[in-house]
Homo-oligomer: A and B are copies of this chain.
């Protein structure tokens, strides 16, 4: 596993996005979004996906020069049409709209249609932090998840991210798939040849399986909880809320109609909306109480939880966002390790577009 600096990978991604026709500004925004995943340790959503975006562009499913626009609005809401652009660019636009609304109305909520995969949810939510706002971000995704009691794949891994500012402590940043485990975790087990814990996957008959390839064999991921007695109906509710807020509110494709990320699967022939959907929100902290009061109480909250008595003295209680922030500071300094398969992917892009890599 070779290691690359953030700068090298960022420059490479930027050049690739420019080659498919993105403006320099959009290529930078897309690369910022994409690389935030590599930095934060969410390897499945970073440059490992770059060739996937390019294949979608080759299929005509990504518009490199979208006219992203607000198609409806009220003081605290908007619907943004992404014009089939990269979600990596559309979502930052929409998050900015949410922030501007929040400045005036106290909160801003933006539903997005006609978009594509937007990278990691947490990146968009975190944009609110520097404005002393709470940020929220969710997206629907390719159907891979079965509702409790169903054999069919009707939902995506539909992540939710919430970023909450503190004062002296780093921000609270929750960012999680609404399944027991994200698909990226399964891929790690597949590479290692290991089994999945019970509750992650069901086979094509809907029975629990520990086969890490279960989803590829026609099965499905299970909603957070894993089975009914462990609360999978709650994970199903969460995934559904993300789907409805992101796609039914905006006019995107929802549930099993959501367009697949992989280019070898065509979108459904009977769409119920346009593209993929996101839902982004910003709440000004001082729309509720003075920001310094709120943030010093967040410090107190964070310290109380972080210093609570651990079960195992070797494993301290974590604050959401801590592991990713630590990873980011390590990778900014030491670089980003890439698997051989990802290096090969990037080398192929390098040849295809005549951009030096490595």
Cross-chain contact B75 with A256 (CB below 8 angstroms): no
Contact, CB under 8 Å: A176 / B233: yes
> CB < 8 Å: which of B180, B241, B298 contacts A225?
B180
CA distance A152 to B307 in the complex (A): 10
Contact check, B224 vs A231: say whether CB atoms are below 8 A apart.
Answer: yes
Cβ distance A313 to chain B, nearest Cβ, rounded Å:
11
- As a 0/1 sequence over residues 171 to 194 of chain A, the CB contacts with chain B under 8 angstroms (1 = contact) are 010101011110000000000000
Q: Interface on A for B, CB 8 Å cutoff? A: 72, 74-77, 79, 104-107, 109, 111, 147-152, 154, 162, 164, 172, 174, 176, 178-181, 197, 199, 202, 205-207, 224-226, 229-231, 233-238, 240-241, 243-244, 248-251, 254-256, 272-273, 283-285, 287-289, 293-294, 297-298, 300-301, 304-305, 308-312, 315-318, 320
Residues in B neighbouring A238, C-beta threshold 8 A: 174, 238
Assuming A76-B76, A288-B111, is B248 touching A294 (CB within 8 A)?
Answer: yes
Integer count of this chain's copies in the complex: 2
Question: Contacts A107-B107, A225-B231 given; 4 further ones with Cβ under 8 A?
Answer: A72-B288, A76-B105, A238-B238, A272-B297
List of B residues within 8 angstroms of A310 by Cβ = 149-151, 206
Task: From known contacts A308-B150, A309-B151, infer whether A297 and B77 are also in contact, taking CB-CB under 8 Å.
Answer: no
Known: A289-B251, A298-B244. A74 touches B284 (CB 8 A): yes
Chain B: which residue is nearest A298 at the CB level?
B248
Measured between C-beta atoms, what is the minimum distance from A250 to chain B in Å? 7
CA distance A309 to B256 in the complex (A): 13
Please tell me if the beta carbons of A151 and B311 are within 8 angstroms of each other in the complex.
Answer: yes
A301 pairs with B248, CB closer than 8 A: yes
Q: Report A197 CB to chain B, min CB distance, Å.
A: 5
The listed residue with most B CB atoms (<10 A of its CB), out of A231, A272, A297, is A231
Q: How far is the CA of A233 from the CA of B234 in the complex (A)?
A: 15
Q: How far, in angstroms, from A320 to B233 measured CA to CA in the complex?
A: 8
- Among the listed B106, B205, B207, B312, which residue makes an inter-chain contact with A75, where contact means beta carbons less than 8 Å apart? B106
Task: Determine the distance from Cα of A240 to Cα of B205 in the docked complex, in whole angstroms.
Answer: 36
Question: Is the CB–CB distance between A249 and B154 below 8 Å?
Answer: no
A287-B231 in contact (CB<8A): no
Q: Which single member of B150, B229, B289 contacts A249 (CB below 8 Å)?
A: B289
Say whether B255 contacts A301, CB under 8 Å.
yes
- Closest residue of chain B to A234 (Cβ to Cβ) is B176
B317 touches A149 (CB 8 A): yes
Query: How long is the Cα–Cα vector from A233 to B229 in the complex, in angstroms?
Result: 18
